[in-house]
Structure 1
Amino acid sequence: MEPTVAAQRIAEPEVASPERRLDVFTHARLWKNPCGFAARFNYLALRYNQPLYGWIEERYGLSRAEFVILYSLGIMDGVTASEIASSTAFPKNTLSRAVGLLGKRGLVGRGADATDRRAQPLHLTQAGRDLLAEAMPRFIALEEEMLEPLSLIEREQLSMLMAKVVLGMFHSGDTGE
């Protein structure tokens, strides 16, 4: 399904300088793709995730799964590895190993659930909170850099539209699992 000429004119960027120019294939993949939203979304996600998680591994010796657990607990302390797996789409066994390694490094502690003995709420230790506090400015700065071309109103619109797409997946019954 080829986008209309009018849609291409609106969506396809005008490139001002050669150093900012995409190679021919990447340009086609992003702007002439029948799944353009997914292609651009994935392109941005890779440009965000690869440098940051590479830095996390180099700086702290943590895998992406390990840092995702810390990040998740920074958002909401006391969730279980199963809840993190459900939210992030990481396999449960990958997260289970990561929780064990984080526990050995003193970054995460396990609690006990009064109603379900199998559930083990996870908590950041002080060392885990300190590591997360040190790492987060880099994540925030890269997001800010990516959003720099947008005005405040455009950022709010983008956020609202992305939320609408995400919530629409739940209304359609597709939770991504």
Structure 2
Amino acid sequence: MSEMARAPTSLSKLDRDREAALRELDPLTVTKLWDNPCWLSFRLNFIAFRFNDPVYRWIETRYGLVRPEFVALYAVGLKGGVAAKNIVSSAGLPKNTLSRAIQKLLQRRLLKRETDPADLRSYVLALTPAGRAIFDETMPMMVGQQTAMLAVLTEAEQKQLCELMDKMVIASPAWPADLEPEGTST
């Protein structure tokens, strides 16, 4: 593979750390992380999985909430008074999956529907006291997981990472939503 396709690395300590990781990971994961022309996508997914898997397993074991249910509860915990369509647009999960998750949360009385003060014909979601308790109990565990993941970076590197990710998120609406232009599929 050409050097252009490899993920950019240049620090000798980073190279040593990478070599140690090469010995700990299975060969396919190593290839996907370092010898991959799509290194960014795989690394983002790898890191996200390392955050999400233990967090969602813990939440399911402790609270009986599967990932889509907690995604919805967490969204309402961060910003109450949102409509289900707002959760769908921010979650990256299918609408029907989130709709079922929201229904289960309503049945378990972890969420409640309220009339939208801006449009009396619509409803928004809010946490119930039981839903708020789960949100408040899970937040320290999630922050702790993030803190552990970021511990390898200095404060300046964490700030730089945040700024670089901000740039990418802000630019994301300009990225193609479909890989094939309409009418060209076979």
Residues 1:132 and 2:135 aligned together:
yes
* Paired residue type of 1:110: R
Residue 78 (structure 1) aligned with residue 81 (structure 2): yes
- The 8 Å contact of residues 2 and 34 in structure 1, kept in 2 or not, is answered as no
TM-score by length of structure 1 reads 0.87
Distance apart, 1:9 and its partner CA: 4.5
1:46 is the counterpart of 2:34: no
Name the aligned partner's letter for residue 55 of structure 1.
W
Give the conservation status (yes or no) of the 8 Å contact 2:5–2:35.
Answer: no
Residue by residue over 1:137-174, the C-alpha shift from the partner in whole angstroms, topping out at 9 and shown as x without a partner, is: 1111111111111000000000000010011012x165
Give CA deviations for 1:49-69 in whole Å, capped at 9, x if unaligned.
111111111110001111111
Given the superposition, is the C-alpha separation of residues 36 and 173 from structure 1 closer, same or farther in structure 2, using an over 3 Å criterion?
Answer: closer
Task: Judge which range, 70-79 or 17-26, deviates more.
Answer: 17-26
Alignment partner of 1:63 is 2:73: no
Does residue 1:2 correspond to 2:2, yes or no?
yes
- Residue 88 of structure 1 deviates from its aligned partner by 0.8
- Other-structure match for 2:111: 108
Aligned residue pairs total 174
Q: Is the 8 A contact 1:81 1:96 kept in 2?
A: yes
1:83-137 CA-to-partner distances (Å, cap 9, x unmatched) read 10011122222112111111121110001235262x3200011111111111111
2: distance between equivalents of 1:87 and 1:8? 31
Q: Do the aligned partners of residues 50 and 7 (structure 1) sit closer, same or farther apart at CA in structure 2, a change above 3 Å counting?
A: closer
8 A contact 1:111–1:120 mirrored in 2: yes
Matched with 2:158 is 155
Unaligned runs of 5+ in 1: none
| Alpha-carbon distance change, 6 to 83 in structure 1, aligned in 2, over 3 angstroms | closer
Please say if 1:14 is aligned against 2:16: yes
Q: Under a length normalisation based on structure 2, what TM-score does the superposition of the two structures give?
A: 0.83
> Aligned-residue CA RMSD in angstroms?
2.5
Q: Name whichever structure is richer in strand by fraction.
A: 2
Structure 1 residues 21 and 106: CA distance shift in structure 2, 3 A: same
Distance between the aligned counterparts of 1:10 and 1:130, measured in 2?
A: 46
SS of corresponding position for 1:111? strand
Tell me, in whole angstroms, the C-alpha distance in 1 between the residues paired with 2:76 and 2:177. Answer: 22
